[in-house]
Amino acid sequence: MKINRLPSEIFNRIAAGEVVESPSSIVKELTENAIDAGATEISVSVKGGGIDFIRITDNGCGIDFDDMPTAFMPHATSKIKKLDDLDTIGTLGFRGEALPSIASVADVTMITRTADSEFGGRIVYKDGKLIEHEECGASHGTSVTVENLFKNIPARKKFLNKPSREETKILTLIEHLVLANPDITFKFDSESKRFSSSGEGLESAVFAVYGDGVLKNTAKVKLEEPPMTVEGFTCLPTFTKPSKNYQNIIINGRYVESADIQYAVYSVYAPYLMKRQYPLFVLHITMPFDMVDVNVHPSKLQVKFADTLKVKSLVARAVKNAVQPKLTDVKQLCDDDFGIEPPPMYYGKAHTLRSFFDVAPPQYSGVKTDIAEPQFDGVKQSDVSDNLSATENAEQIYPPQTSETPVYSDVYQSVADFTETEVFAPIECKYVGKLFNTYLVLERGEQCYFIDQHAAHEKLLYDRLLRDYESKRMQTQPLMIPFVFDVSAADAELIMENLDLFEDCGFGIAPFGEYTFTLSYLPYECVGIDLQSFAADLLLLINSREKSPMTLKERLMQAACKAAVKGEIDDLSQSEIDALLAEMTARNITLFCPHGRPIAVGFSKKEIEKWFKRIV
């Protein structure tokens, strides 16, 4: 076997596969170089989502004219000189892979000048080959222009997202850099977006990225235990987010990802968090360089700690010290074990059931569908219209479905012991009472049924919204005072892309500033929804839509179903319970809520008697 030594154009392109994944990778490498060069002002300009054009300009120390070609050689760096330097890395870049990797997959032009030089230098690379290197007039600092990314590598280019999505990734990266380097002024511009930070400290950086609404709902974190320090901002327990995208960890000025630190913070908030909610935080952790290894992956996002337990403990105590004093000023949704009352926003919302009485759902005509008659505990669907003893006036309030009513096929997860064709049909049922203020108990003959009031109401709301959407007869309710919410720059771009869909689904969302939006109306069925929670869910939906088999429309409908009555919280009156059961019967709803959980569970008298050993 003959061993070949790869030429530079090949191994540079191989290295580029790890270093240059997308335009945002290029922006990351070049801005980190600028930070290492001592820049206090960094400007980022892109076109075509960075695929066509990227320019990074800084006021750092610059590069000597004679060293410019060396900077584009593999593993050429000013950051480390000897092996021991790897144990105490204090710069963001150190591998010497960025410039040669970028030059191998794009056209690169660099203009730079040091403070003590009369003239600057200009160098041009195309396809990894040096084309020009000459003196020129230049401002103090460095400007790198990258054009035509992957122009000669179509296999790589086809895996890029559309320009607007690539631009959003760059914007998210800039936000991370702003939070990690709050004393540096950043400017970003593209054909459609501009963003800037003042470089006046961490508080101003948080304001620039998240807005005043978030800043007002945070507490300052600061704890020093030599040789480590933790400082930054963390959210109040009343202001959590539906994803971990708002968790920012900075180690010695480097933005990183760490499940250990995320868990340490989460452990503080866990007693106060609702399901699928996570704290927002920006934490700067400073420690000796030999206590953390950043040389784990070319992306330099992953780190390893010499003493993970010590770091986690310090972070948890720092966050706890910041949050605990605030708990006396806010009302958390917690049980009595924590001595804190629920906030008003989570008290009963029975008023959202007013649509049961005010407006009868419109009837829809459609093509007759021939399907097998579903059964539930021996009850046929066709029997429902003949006997609705669950509520005397059920037929007048909600006329039953007929053979001319189309069957709507929703997206549900499978649940053991149920099928999608099973329906709720409590023929001649007797309402017995409520259990744990959550489950409605019904009796029919020798059968007993438990109905989850929240899941049932969610399903009814979801079906109504979907019917209105598909028939283009969405009923909306204006808000007396529009709800205003702030988002990050990246999320603002995603919301703008989906404004038409939100309108079609009955949500009047409109821009109200660069990163601020208003919600001026919403579907009639959603009156009473917690708008703050819905706005948070909205961001989660648009960020996770590519990972879900559901369409954004379906997931939006699911989020809207949070207007449903709540288990353990909403104490429904008898008339409201009757109306709920009546519509369940009249609509023949399938036995799954929009999230795939069962709505009803039945037990026979024989099964119950076995529990008590009356029979064997």
Regarding predicted confidence, which is higher, 468 or 414?
Answer: 468
Q: Is the pLDDT of residue 266 over 90?
A: yes
Same domain, 453 and 402: yes
Q: Which tokens in the block code for residue 254?
A: 């480097």
Same domain, 261 and 404: no
* Domain annotation covers residue 470: no
Same domain, 191 and 143: yes
Tracing tokens 């392109």 back to the chain, one arrives at 13
Average pLDDT over residues 549-570: 64
Same domain, 327 and 276: yes
* Domain annotation covers residue 616: no
Which residue among 168, 201, 234 closes a domain? 201
Same domain, 328 and 363: no
Regarding predicted confidence, which is higher, 378 or 204?
Answer: 204
CATH number for position 432? 3.30.1540.20
Question: Domain containing 529: what range?
Answer: 476-563
* Domain annotation covers residue 3: no
Q: Is the pLDDT of residue 527 over 90?
A: no
Which range, of 150-154, 227-231, 402-406, averages the lowest pLDDT? 402-406
- CA triplet 43, 46, 48: central angle to 5 degrees? 175
What long-range pairs does 246-249 form, CB within 8 A, spacing at least 24? 246/210, 246/278, 246/280, 246/281, 247/278, 247/279, 247/280, 247/281, 248/176, 248/179, 248/180, 248/281, 248/282, 248/283, 249/283, 249/285
Distance CA 437, CA 577 (A): 12
* Domain annotation covers residue 206: no
Average pLDDT over residues 467-495: 84
Q: Which tokens in the block code for residue 223?
A: 């704890």
Same domain, 291 and 386: no
- pLDDT > 70 in the chain, percent: 70
Same domain, 575 and 534: no
- pLDDT > 90 in the chain, percent: 35
Instruction: Give tens-digit pLDDT for 298-316.
Output: 566 788 899 999 999 999 9
Average pLDDT over residues 551-571: 66
Average pLDDT over residues 500-526: 87
> Number of structural domains, the chain?
4
Same domain, 35 and 156: yes
Q: Is the pLDDT of residue 244 over 80?
A: yes
167 pLDDT tier (thresholds 50, 70, 90): very high
Same domain, 173 and 283: no
* Domain annotation covers residue 2: no
Same domain, 416 and 502: no
Which residue among 201, 219, 239 closes a domain? 201
Q: Is the pLDDT of residue 1 over 70?
A: no
What is the pLDDT of the chain when averaged over all its residues?
76
Of the ranges 62-76, 191-205, 425-439, 522-536, the best mean pLDDT one = 191-205
Which range, of 34-48, 130-144, 262-276, 371-385, averages the lowest pLDDT? 371-385
* Domain annotation covers residue 1: no
CATH number for position 501? 3.30.1370.100
589 pLDDT tier (thresholds 50, 70, 90): low
Predicted confidence at residue 110, as pLDDT, reads 97
Which residue among 201, 223, 246 closes a domain? 201
pTM of the model: 0.65
Which range, of 29-33, 255-259, 321-325, 601-605, averages the lowest pLDDT? 601-605
Same domain, 330 and 419: no
Same domain, 266 and 331: yes
Average pLDDT over residues 173-193: 94
User: Got the DSSP string for 102-126?
Assistant: HHHHSEEEEEEE-TT-SSEEEEEEE
Instruction: Give tens-digit pLDDT for 342-391.
Output: 333 322 222 222 222 233 333 323 333 332 333 333 333 333 333 333 33
* Domain annotation covers residue 237: yes
Predicted confidence at residue 122, as pLDDT, reads 97
